[in-house]
Amino acid sequence: MQTISPTPAATLLFRQQPRRHTDGVGHVPSAGTVRRYAKDEEIFGEGDRTAYYYKVVEGTVRTSKLLSDGRRQIGAFYLPGDLFGIEAGDEHRFSAEAVGEAKVVSYKRCGLEGLAANDNDFAVAIVEALMQALARAQDHMLLLGRKSAIEKIATFLLDISERLNEDSFELTMSRTDIADHLGLTIETVSRSLTQLERKGYIALPSTRRVELRDKPALAQLVG
Amino acid sequence: MQTISPTPAATLLFRQQPRRHTDGVGHVPSAGTVRRYAKDEEIFGEGDRTAYYYKVVEGTVRTSKLLSDGRRQIGAFYLPGDLFGIEAGDEHRFSAEAVGEAKVVSYKRCGLEGLAANDNDFAVAIVEALMQALARAQDHMLLLGRKSAIEKIATFLLDISERLNEDSFELTMSRTDIADHLGLTIETVSRSLTQLERKGYIALPSTRRVELRDKPALAQLVG
DNA sequence: CGGGCCGTTGACTCTTGTCAATCGCGGTGG
DNA sequence: CCACCGCGATTGACAAGAGTCAACGGCCCG
């Protein structure tokens, strides 16, 4: 989700119009307001009114749902350039928080009404993000429902690596966040990582840093 | 997902226009072609070009993804009135098959180009379906990642019951399909069902028929 | 230097998966 | 019409993968 380019599907939903400008991470109107969020600060909560759309500028954002007893599922991590918070209904069905320090732009949803008519680009970006999110969710359901712990970790690492376009990267999220994203416990995440390291597929110079050493072997593991 | 009505989110993506007509299961243009599919017949496969949108008329449709070794995840079941097959990209990222005998309408995607300008309704229905699908996927990720076998089954039964608006219903899908939807094995599905029956929460007059006897108790189980 | 937090590791438990036998229903053919 | 066959579902015994509980380690920050 590094760059957002129009797909046939999204394009077809709107009248054809010349695109005006793009910025490499998806076009957005200039009307957004930027805000910094502290580590673990809530951007919106489950049940909040869906008044805005958001885009990550710096840092990482997680969206999550909770069960009544506190069990948590992190639906996705959003990296710089990613849009999030687009939903059906007038209430958010999941919450979003900053993972570490993050900078986020928000766009008033009601500002869209006129936009869709005059400035197609933002509307297209929204539908784009929606379809992207759905595609990701489909993949993630396969991971959650059918993959083993090691396969989950391998898939996760390759996914991050691909989105960052780096074979060596810093994990912005804690083991707890990874566990809640992959449907595991922190202990299993930890054990799986060391297991991959022992096999020589990855290196872990520090707890948060990951280097992919054998991508083909990892790719083998994703199924 | 019995009826599709516009939500603020979808409405905002398009210019306001008087709706022309609705049919109770979501407006669709008259251009669609109906087809019958036999049990397990493929409607589209992973990798197929995304040339159409589809709507279930009769029966049930499942969408699924496979791992290379055959493990399968059923993303969702679609009941009469539900739209499916809407995706980013020009290739389907999952396949769709008929569960039992099914009747399905398909709409050419390229036919939409003009429609979005003149007839907003279908475009709105598409975005609606997209957001619905995403919301469902979010819920399902929580189920797959964080719920126990019994909780999964209870959630599944309540969901079906709600969508059919019946406390007593026929399951159109096999135990294998249920297992692949909930990230379980058929044995665990079977055991969980009998466990719920023994507790008196449900009755199983025949293998495919389910009667919900204690919905509050079941609701307790969904978290 | 000390405390706290996060991560790792180990020992053990338990839920769920695996393998296998049996059941039961529905269809088919004698 | 009934017996047989086959497939899907259930049940049981056992195995294994992941979770739980607990101790320890390392790192950052005061």
Lookup: tokens for A90 = 């007038």
From the CA of A132, how many Å to the C1' of D8? 38
Q: Which of residues 161-200 of A touch B (CB under 8 A)?
A: 180-183
Which DSSP letter does residue B93 get? S
Strand C positions closer than 7 A to protein CB? 6-11, 15-20, 25-26
Q: Where would I find the H helices in B15-147?
A: 112-118, 120-146
pLDDT band of residue A110 (cuts 50, 70, 90) is: low
Tens-place pLDDT, residues A136-174: 999 999 999 999 999 999 999 999 999 999 999 999 999
User: pLDDT at residue B210 above 50?
Assistant: yes
List, for residues B102-158, the tens digit of each pLDDT value: 999 998 875 444 445 545 666 677 778 888 899 999 999 999 999 999 999 999 999
Starting from the edge strand earliest in sequence, which strands make up the sheet with A202-203, in order? A168-170, A209-212, A202-203
Please list every residue in chain B whose beta carbon sits closer than 8 Å to the beta carbon of residue A131: 86-89, 130
Q: Do A15 and B117 touch (CB under 8 A)?
A: yes
| Cβ atoms < 10 Å from Cβ of A96 | 25
**pLDDT band for position A83 (cuts 50, 70, 90):** very high
B199 CA to chain A: closest CA distance, Å?
A: 22
The integer distance in angstroms from the CA atom of A74 to the C1' atom of D30 is 33
Q: How far is the CA of B213 from the C1' of D9 (A)?
A: 22
Q: Is the pLDDT of residue A14 over 60?
A: no
State the pLDDT at residue A29: 53
Q: State the first-to-last Cα distance of chain A, in angstroms, to the nearest integer.
A: 21
Contact A144 B145 (CB under 8 A): yes
Instruction: Measure in Å the smallest separation between the Cα of A199 and chain B Cα atoms.
Output: 22
pLDDT at position B120, please? 62
CA distance B92 to B106: 15
**What is residue B223's predicted lDDT score, i.e. its pLDDT?**
85
Query: What local confidence, expressed as pLDDT, does residue A109 receive?
Result: 76
B188, closest nucleotide (Cα–C1'): C16
- The dihedral of CA B29, B30, B31, B37: what is its sign? positive
* Selected residue with higher pLDDT from A14 and B86: B86
Residues 52-91 (A) with a CB less than 8 A from some CB of B: 65, 67-69, 71-73, 75, 86-90
* Cα separation, B177 vs B8, whole angstroms: 34
Alpha helices in chain B (DSSP H): 8-12, 112-118, 120-146, 149-164, 175-182, 186-198, 215-221
Given a contact cutoff of 8 angstroms between Cβ atoms, the answer to whether A107 and A14 are in contact is: no
What does the pLDDT read at residue A1?
39
Say yes or no to pLDDT of B201 above 90.
yes
The 10 Å Cβ neighbour count of residue B188 is 17
Size of interface A-B (CB pairs under 8 A): 168
